[in-house]
Amino acid sequence: MENILVTGGAGYIGSKICYDLIDKGFEVVIVDNLTTGHKKLINKNCVFYKVNIGDKKSLFKIFKKHNIDKVIHMAASLSVQESMIKPQKYYLNNVYNTKKLLDVCAKFKIKKFVFSSTCAVYGEKKKRVKSNDTPSPSSYYGLTKLLCEKLIETYAKKYNFSYFILRYFNVVGADYKLRVGPINRSGQLFKNLSISILKKNKKINIYGKNYNTKDGTCIRDYIDVNDLSNIHINCLKKILNKKSLVVNCGYGKGHSVLEVINHFENISGKKYTKEFKKPRKGDISEIICSPSKNKYNKIILTNNYNIKDSIKSSLKWEFKIKNMNRLK
Ligand SMILES: NC(=O)c1ccc[n+]([C@@H]2O[C@H](COP(=O)([O-])OP(=O)(O)OC[C@H]3O[C@@H](n4cnc5c(N)ncnc54)[C@H](O)[C@@H]3O)[C@@H](O)[C@H]2O)c1
């Protein structure tokens, strides 16, 4: 039996990965301080510790008790906008705490470290980015994730473990069985559109209309959370045991904000009232992944879902949690 530690396993993406790991027969230990995570998203078959990843003493006990040798590190603060106002919070939670976690990983001689990074490390320099392009973050959030990547590479070299740095593009959708999905994620386009469709006035704010893009709104590469979860599980394959890779996790296709709204309208059969607002600080105009075609990436990357699947699961999930709240 393989024992895996997942930090941030009570969050949107982490909880989905934990469900899939349990389905595949892994023993899963979650460390999450529930700052943005939710207990109700945690699979009951996981062992859960409400612990801060910066708490080395507790981590030490957990690693020892559960014989941890693989880590999926997802715990982080992740709002681009908030990071521009509170850079210190981002440095402490993302960089300093990752260093503490890595100290414990080194002590227990872990074999594999999978890290949730982001396309925000690339910044505004290029619209279509390859994983070997030079990063140039334009937000503190992106910068702190890049610093984490550097720390991981340094520790991996020194303590001889393999790492997978997964640079996620925009993650959307809910678990295809609707067991978990996004909860408090105001500011996220898919979440806002899903909430708004269930309301009477169906208002949606669009931040910026004069970006240098085909229709003036921001363009993103959206990856479905079900595919992203499989990517993590693929990184744990034995064939990749000695490998270390930096992987762009996106589909290589961009959708503008207006295009996404249009898809939501077509699928739901309802119309939004669109309101244009000022661009948000730290937002970049356009970023699309250029997925690498090397043989290891082919083992890792999956593309079983598309934007319409993600919209459908988002809407079904929102409907489900709205009804659940009504029953309480
Ligand atoms: N959602 C996206 O589109 C996206 C895109 C790129 C990268 N990412 C990365 O994916 C990861 C997960 O993101 P998410 O969307 O699931 O966010 P989330 O906020 O739902 O999950 C983060 C989890 O980490 C926990 N956490 C935060 N700080 C912690 C700490 N110090 N100790 C213990 N637990 C802590 C939170 O309680 C939460 O459960 C993050 O590292 C994020 O940077 C997400």
Q: Best substitution site from 5, 13, 90 to test ligand 1's pocket, by max atoms within 8 Å of Cβ?
A: 13
| Cα 10 to ligand 1 centroid, rounded to whole Å | 9
Find out whether the beta carbon of 168 lies less than 6 Å from any atom of ligand 1.
yes
For 3-172+223-249, give the CATH class: alpha beta
Find out whether the beta carbon of 198 lies less than 6 Å from any atom of ligand 1.
no
Residue written as token pair 């119309």: 271
pLDDT for position 324: 76
Query: Ligand 1, atom 29: nearest CA belongs to which residue?
Result: 75
Per residue of the chain (328 residues), give pLDDT as tens.
679 999 999 999 999 999 999 999 999 999 999 999 999 999 999 999 999 999 999 999 999 999 999 999 999 999 999 999 999 999 999 999 999 999 999 999 999 999 999 999 999 888 999 999 999 999 999 999 999 999 999 999 999 999 999 999 999 999 999 999 999 766 799 999 999 999 998 999 999 999 999 999 999 999 999 999 999 999 999 999 999 999 999 999 999 999 999 999 999 999 999 999 999 987 889 999 998 888 999 999 999 999 999 999 999 999 999 887 764 5
Confidence (pTM): 0.97
pLDDT for position 326: 61
Element (H, E) at 114: strand 112-118
How do beta strands 286-289 and 245-249 pair? Answer: unpaired
Q: At what angle do helices 257-268 and 307-327 cross, to 10 degrees?
A: 60
pLDDT for position 275: 96
Q: What is the distance of C-alpha 209 from the center of its chain?
A: 26
All residues at 6 or more sequence positions from 65 whose CB lies less than 8 Å from its CB, including other chains: none
Query: Ligand 1, atom 11: nearest CA belongs to which residue?
Result: 74
Find out whether the beta carbon of 166 lies less than 6 Å from any atom of ligand 1.
no
The encoded tokens of residue 170 equal: 């925009």
What sign does the dihedral 292-22-320-203 (CA atoms) show? negative
Find out whether the beta carbon of 224 lies less than 6 Å from any atom of ligand 1.
no
Q: Which atom of ligand 1 is nearest to the CA of 93?
A: 31
| Cα 8 to ligand 1 centroid, rounded to whole Å | 6
Q: Best substitution site from 18, 32, 145 to test ligand 1's pocket, by max atoms within 8 Å of Cβ?
A: 32
Q: At what angle do helices 257-268 and 189-197 cross, to 10 degrees?
A: 30
The encoded tokens of residue 76 equal: 């982080």
pLDDT for position 71: 98
pLDDT for position 292: 80
Residues of the chain with CATH 3.40.50.720: 3-172+223-249
207 as an active site residue: the answer is no
Find out whether the beta carbon of 19 lies less than 6 Å from any atom of ligand 1.
no
Distance CA 253, CA 247 (A): 16
Find out whether the beta carbon of 76 lies less than 6 Å from any atom of ligand 1.
yes
Say which of 141, 168, 207, 211 is annotated catalytic: 141
Find out whether the beta carbon of 75 lies less than 6 Å from any atom of ligand 1.
yes
Residues of the chain with CATH 3.90.25.10: 189-220+252-289+305-327
Helix (H, G, I), strand (E, B) or coil at 132: coil
Query: 189-220+252-289+305-327 maps to which CATH number?
Result: 3.90.25.10
The encoded tokens of residue 74 equal: 């997802």
Distance CA 314, CA 157 (A): 40
10 Å Cβ neighbour count for 105?
27
